[in-house]
Amino acid sequence: MLNILITRPQGKGAALAQQLEQAGYQASLFPVLKIEYLTPDSIELSPLTNADKIIFVSQDAVLALSELKPDINIKAQFYGVGQQTADTIYEVFGVRAAVPKQHDSEGLLALKSLADVDSCNIVLVKGIGGRPDIAKTLKQRGAFLNNCVVYQRTPIDPEPNNWIDHWQSQNVHGIVITSNAAVDAIFKNLAAPQRQWLQQCRFYVASERIGAYLQQHQVSSANIHIAAGASDNAMFTCINQQGSKMSEQSVPSTVDKAAQKTTNATANNGKATAKSDTLKATDKADNTKQRVSKVGSLALIISLIVASGVGFEFYQKLNASKTQSLAVNQLNEQNKLLQQELQALKLAQANLQQTLLTSEQKVTAAMRESTTKNQQELKAALQQAQQQGSSLNPQEVTSLQRMAEFKLWAENDYQGTSAVLKRLDALLSDHPGTITVRQAITQDIQTLDAIKPIAVEAIYLQLSSVLKNIDELVFNAVNLPEEVAKIDDKVLSEDLSDWQQNLKNSWDQFLDGFITIRHREGVAIEPLLSEQQRHLVNQRVKLYITQAQDALLSKHASVYFAALSEAKRLVAEYFKQDDDVTKMVLKSLSNLEKEQLNFNPKVNLQSTQQVKEWAK
């Protein structure tokens, strides 16, 4: 039975595998690529609004764009490279798309509606790399072309040596490939023996472009068969046409920038504090001036009064008799002058008090106005700081990123890593300037969510079920019959007179120890197995199945597949193939051999470097 390996991405090869199995082939699903959706910026998506023609290169391009929910011109002319792409366009956007007869780039460019595209706005929805001829040719025809890159294909395992060893053990005859990216993933970093084995396999490809790319890897054109497109029916027709030729040949039996934080709240807060301090100093100076002026005036008045009293007493002592009248007159005049000055001082004091009161009212009003203004400025600064992400703590971001790395590398917990990254993305979603970091985090989450956990418990239970059925297998051999009962006529006599006969019988028994001829009843022309031999065969089969269980729990894929292969060989060699139990055991072992045991897929977090740059 020819074994055909289907390398299409997850979920895209099941229908083809079913067709091949119904036609008598053995089909193995082994995706070598995974699809990661990207998030283009608004500039790259904006041409879809006014596009005259929109070209989708694959189903993945349609599905990836629909996830973004962009504004798209439904009245534009839609194109699909193949029929499946066109069907997906109708399911998603409700628009009938034009499809070329030849499902490849050359067939698409041969359409009459794409012959005259001078000054047309065309959007090419595609993945990273691939199909450069479409863009190049349309630009030469005068079209305004915009590329909208929405997905990328990446290898599931960066080390394909493990694949090739597994394929050799499965005795793979032909390989289905639908993209150049799959060719790169398979032929990357291969050892010489593995490359030679792979080059001798037959390849079923979706286009001449892929066939030419395979020839660059030293694959003979005789081993390359080109289908009429990437659809399941086209691939099945191509494989079925070449099936008889393959059965006659032998195939070897042995794989951004970081956003800067802006913090204006501290500066604005400092300015407000400086203004407040200045006003307080001015107020204090005015109060001090007011206090000094009042005390000075009163001190001056008291000093004048005291001086007048002292002078009056002095005059009396000097001119006690004659000049008393003159002194009194002079003192009276001085008192009048002092009273006039005192009145002037009182008036000045009243004016000063009024001035101080007016100044105090003005200062109070100014302080209130300044306080209100400062509060408004402070509130605006805080709002601006919150909008600009000033409240985002870099330590919290780096801590979550390190937690994600620990769960990935130390615990191999891919779902836990995805949960931590989703929490980090939710933290960054409320802060502008983190678009680049969030794009990297989104790609990592998509990569982690695409990793399917291995159903170790389910596989282990299937092996246990097979193990229970081993004792019910029917051997393909004849049972050894019991030996014919034989009368021993050489028993020694206890009579001394029979010593001569006893001597003869002893000699005959001695000779029988060297050569023994046993006679068995029945015809013995078929292979014979004793009960002990049957028991040993059963135990060996059970041992291999138990060894596969141990390898599954200890995550040793190579030991697992080797043990199942040996168990399958023993069952096929020693037990009846037409028995129902034997058929059931062989089918279960074959299904268990198809399990993909990639226990520790290598994942590199793109967000790690982005977070480091952002936190600087």
Digit-coded pLDDT (tens) for 2-60: 888 888 887 788 888 888 888 888 888 888 888 888 988 888 898 999 999 999 998 88
The predicted model gives 80-103 an average pLDDT of 91
Q: Is 483 helix (H, G, I), strand (E, B) or coil?
A: strand
One domain for residues 214 and 330: no
Residue 43 within any structural domain of the chain: yes
Secondary structure, 3-state, 395-416: HHHHHHHHHHHHHHHCCCCHHH
* Predicted pLDDT of residue 288: 44
pLDDT over 50 (residue 525): no
One domain for residues 206 and 351: no
* Predicted pLDDT of residue 526: 47
pLDDT over 90 (residue 79): yes
One domain for residues 25 and 119: no
Among 265, 263, 261, 262, smallest CA distance to 374 is for 265
Burial of 531-562, coded b for 16+ CB within 10 Å and e otherwise, reads eeebeebbeebbebbebbbebbeeebbeebbb
Q: Which of 30-34, 94-98, 110-114 has the lowest mean pLDDT?
A: 30-34
For the stretch 457-475, pLDDT in tens is 888 898 898 888 888 888 8
For the stretch 121-166, pLDDT in tens is 999 999 887 667 898 999 999 999 999 999 988 887 666 667 888 8
Q: Please identify, among 213, 248, 283, the residue that sits at the C-terminal boundary of a domain.
A: 248
One domain for residues 336 and 280: yes
Mean pLDDT of the chain: 78
Question: Which of 240-249, 343-352, 563-572 is modeled with the greatest confidence?
Answer: 563-572
One domain for residues 463 and 552: yes
Cα 505 to chain centroid, rounded: 88
For the stretch 178-220, pLDDT in tens is 888 888 888 887 888 888 888 889 999 988 888 888 999 889 8
One domain for residues 583 and 473: yes
pLDDT over 90 (residue 342): no
Beta strands in 109-247 (DSSP E): 121-127, 144-155, 174-177, 202-205, 224-226
Residue 371 amino acid letter: T
Q: Please identify, among 360, 387, 414, the residue that sits at the C-terminal boundary of a domain.
A: 387
Contacts for 280-288 with beta carbons within 8 Å, 24 or more apart?
A: 282/363, 283/363, 283/367, 286/356, 286/359, 286/360, 286/363
* Predicted pLDDT of residue 251: 41
* Predicted pLDDT of residue 254: 34
Residue 513 within any structural domain of the chain: no
* Predicted pLDDT of residue 122: 94
For the stretch 585-614, pLDDT in tens is 999 999 988 887 877 777 788 888 888 888
Asked if residue 602 lies in contact with residue 613, where contact means CB atoms within 8 angstroms, the answer is no
114 pLDDT band, cuts 50/70/90, is very high
395 pLDDT band, cuts 50/70/90, is confident
86 pLDDT band, cuts 50/70/90, is very high
- Residues 6 or more apart whose CB falls under 8 angstroms from that of 596 comprise 30, 454
- Residues 6 or more apart whose CB falls under 8 angstroms from that of 312 comprise 327, 331
One domain for residues 365 and 305: yes
**Number of other CB atoms surrounding residue 502 within 10 Å:** 17
pLDDT over 70 (residue 498): yes
Q: Which residue has better confidence, 535 or 310?
A: 535
Torsion on CA atoms 319, 320, 323, 328, rounded to nearest 10: 110
Structure tokens given for 505: 């019988």
- Residues 6 or more apart whose CB falls under 8 angstroms from that of 504 comprise none
Residue 497 within any structural domain of the chain: no
Q: Which residue has better confidence, 528 or 289?
A: 528
In the chain, the number of structural domains is: 5
Asked if residue 55 lies in contact with residue 122, where contact means CB atoms within 8 angstroms, the answer is yes
Residue 536 within any structural domain of the chain: yes
One domain for residues 170 and 210: yes
512 pLDDT band, cuts 50/70/90, is low
How many separate helices (H) and strands (E) can be counted in the chain? 22, 12
> Which CATH number is 90's domain given?
3.40.50.10090
> Which CATH number is 580's domain given?
1.20.1440
Among 467, 433, 493, 434, smallest CA distance to 547 is for 467
In eight-state DSSP terms, residue 575 is: B
Using CA atoms, how far apart are residues 457 and 200, in angstroms rounded to an integer? 37
* Predicted pLDDT of residue 158: 61
424 pLDDT band, cuts 50/70/90, is confident
* Predicted pLDDT of residue 517: 54
255 pLDDT band, cuts 50/70/90, is very low
Q: Which residue has better confidence, 472 or 255?
A: 472
End-to-end alpha carbon distance in the chain: 61
Domain that holds residue 413: 394-453+602-615
Torsion on CA atoms 108, 9, 202, 166, rounded to nearest 10: 170
pLDDT over 50 (residue 524): no
88 pLDDT band, cuts 50/70/90, is very high
Q: Which residue has better confidence, 348 or 539?
A: 539
Residue 337 within any structural domain of the chain: yes
Among 449, 424, 450, 448, smallest CA distance to 438 is for 424
Half-sphere exposure of 70 (CA within 13 A, CB side): 25
Angle at 571 between CA 568 and CA 572, to 5 degrees: 85
Residue 257 within any structural domain of the chain: no
For the stretch 261-280, pLDDT in tens is 333 333 334 443 333 444 34
Q: Could you give the C-alpha distances from 591 to 5, 574, 587, in angstroms and in order?
A: 15, 20, 6
Q: Which residue has better confidence, 336 or 71?
A: 71
Asked if residue 541 lies in contact with residue 568, where contact means CB atoms within 8 angstroms, the answer is no
Query: Which H or E run includes 48?
Result: none
- Residues 6 or more apart whose CB falls under 8 angstroms from that of 356 comprise 286, 290
One domain for residues 565 and 584: yes
Residue 254 within any structural domain of the chain: no
Asked if residue 53 lies in contact with residue 135, where contact means CB atoms within 8 angstroms, the answer is no
Using CA atoms, how far apart are residues 177 and 485, in angstroms rounded to an integer? 69
Residue 511 within any structural domain of the chain: no
99 pLDDT band, cuts 50/70/90, is very high
Q: At what angle do helices 607-615 and 394-409 cross, to 10 degrees?
A: 160
Asked if residue 576 lies in contact with residue 474, where contact means CB atoms within 8 angstroms, the answer is yes
229 pLDDT band, cuts 50/70/90, is confident
**Number of other CB atoms surrounding residue 104 within 10 Å:** 22
* Predicted pLDDT of residue 94: 92
284 pLDDT band, cuts 50/70/90, is very low
Q: Please identify, among 341, 367, 387, the residue that sits at the C-terminal boundary of a domain.
A: 387
One domain for residues 381 and 290: yes
Residue percentage of the chain with pLDDT more than 70:
77
One domain for residues 462 and 539: yes
Structure tokens given for 496: 């001394």
One domain for residues 358 and 398: no
* Predicted pLDDT of residue 65: 93
Among 180, 228, 176, smallest CA distance to 204 is for 176
By CB atoms closer than 10 A (0-12, 13-18, 19+), residue 294 is middle
Using CA atoms, how far apart are residues 264 and 266, in angstroms rounded to an integer? 5
